[in-house]
Structure 1
């Protein structure tokens, strides 16, 4: 029996890999004042151009339970088992809607296998979980084993964030305007991480981009040991050259088996702001 992996529009990972793997994506909605788009409808270029020209931070909203349910039915009608990996419940109602859709499916006396997992992550942290689940499917693992691996990766995979600008954090009300202006004047950069509970918290404040990115590289070594079989994911918000330079810097120090670079989509890009970097391992 085939296994279908479903995620949502908050995930960042190379599109060509997701397409090849047949990963199904339920988009979130992105709101610019009175305009509304599905996260899948906006190109990266259009999104960052719109965000740059907007005085108000774009807002995002979760898919409805029916959007998930319709996709579940489409896949289960084919006889497929379904594994859903969703954006952290600490950041969005997306997971709750996906879980509610599962309950609705089970009420219709569905007798197959479906599992909905709170990734407690986002961006390429979620993408890495999806990729590892896909690799497990390709190796012929059972549905139960793939689910067990995905659950273990919720705890195992770590995610770090670098913010080049505090503009979106201020616009979103997560940082006082006066404090934000002072931090910007002092060239303070935020290094953040995904907590065990699935929220995003500040780890350190570092003065200057170069020092902050070097500190991010050092943190990778503090998070884990032994890199020969491991995968690293880097997502960037409209700063590809910075991401490539960071990859080279990381690989000089840590011999990861694979490193994937992807653009940061509208959902996470809304909060990271232009120039942001997310690293997951």
Structure 2
């Protein structure tokens, strides 16, 4: 195996990625109501959402340990890459970097690079796919890094959630001045800054209008859409995700479209009914 791509479990893997043998998940974990959940193939979204709804305490997440990343780097692959959720939102990136340092101390030099997605969920998915595309094209390790870093800088992340409570309570909305008037059913359209923090783009009354506004924002910011993959993840709302897809493909042509159900960490933050779009 020439290359290996480790994606922390905030990033969803497609079935094709899982079966390729080139991708590996570094699982985060979740605590909800005294129950410990590993965000891996055993994650039960319906059970998790039920536990969150029944628990007064906010769920908490823990990132993979540096040792977990070090174990992932210890393989036969010549080039190893890690993709983590935004370093502004989680310790996963720093953990992956520490794991690299531990690997070098223990085993010596190796081509290892950690990508800070500056995004989450399907944003990580797209980055992992881009790494594989570059490797399959025969690029050198340095060329892959430069190409993928430029790709990360060109991506945009958007999301509309039914509730921002978990993001708020876990301190992921620091610096946001806008106050969401939940009593008026105001739904903000959110996005990622170039640094990987969360910003509010606009808002609308009701989830349907907010999704329309999000789609308009996406189209207004699109460049060379025919060369891009439209990636949508949803938390327990496939019909809503399909509706967003139809809004977008009716206004722009994309190279491909993927729709994935959120894994554990993304389900925790997106909450029931949340939609994330990355393009």
Both proteins in one fold, TM over 0.5: yes
CA distance in 1, matches of 2:35, 2:108: 38
Distance 1:79 1:233 in 2: 28
SS of the residue aligned with 2:98? Answer: helix
Structure 2 residue matching 1:108: 3-state secondary structure: helix
> SS of 1:136's equivalent?
helix
Per the alignment, in what secondary structure is the counterpart of residue 253 of structure 1? Answer: coil
Are 2:178 and 1:156 aligned? no
Cα displacement string for residues 229-275 of structure 1 (whole angstroms, at most 9, x for unaligned residues) = 21010000111111011111111111112110001122122122111
Distance in 1 (CA, whole Å) between partners of 2:171 and 2:109 is: 45
2:94 paired with 1:93: no
Instruction: Please say if residues 190 and 202 of structure 2, whose CA atoms lie closer than 8 Å, have aligned partners that are also in contact.
Output: yes
Q: After TM superposition, give the deviation of residue 45 of structure 1 in Å.
A: 2.3
Aligned to 1:17: 16
1:230 aligns to 2:228 (yes or no): yes
Q: Is structure 2 residue 136 aligned with structure 1 residue 138? A: yes
- Equivalent of residue 78 in structure 2, options 80, 88, 110: 80
Alpha carbons 2:230, 2:254 under 8 Å: kept: yes
Is the counterpart of residue 44 in structure 1 residue 45 in structure 2? Answer: yes
Alignment of 1:101-112 (within 5 A): 101-112=99-110
Residue 6 of structure 2 is matched in structure 1 by: 6
TM-score by length of 2: 0.91
Q: Tell me whether 1:273 sits opposite 2:274 in the alignment.
A: no
Give yes or no for contact 2:188–2:202 (8 Å, CA) kept in 1: yes
> What 5-or-longer segments of structure 2 have no aligned partner?
none
Instruction: Report the equivalent of 2:32.
Output: 32
The SS at the match of 2:86 is coil
Rounded to whole Å, the distance in 1 between the matches of 2:20 and 2:186 is: 40
Cα root mean square deviation, aligned: 2.0
**Aligned with residue 113 of structure 1, among 99, 111, 118:** 111
Distance 1:84 1:126, change over 3 A: same
Which of 237, 243, 258 aligns to 1:245? It is 243
More deviation in 160-169 or 54-63? Answer: 160-169
Alignment correspondent of 2:256: 258
Give every structure 1 segment of 4 or more consecutive aligned residues whose post-TM-superposition deviation is greater than 3 Å.
Answer: 166-175
Q: Deviations over 1:85-127 (max 9, x none)?
A: 1111100111101101101111235232111122221111111
Q: Distance in 1 between matches of 2:77 and 2:278?
A: 33
Q: Quick one: structure 1 residues 112 and 234, their matched pair in 2 at CA, closer, same or farther if it must change by over 3 Å?
A: same
Q: Distance in 1 between matches of 2:98 and 2:226?
A: 40
If the length of structure 1 is used for normalisation, what is the TM-score?
0.90
Change (3 A) 1:211 1:120: same
Q: What stretches of structure 1 of length at least 5 have no aligned partner?
A: none
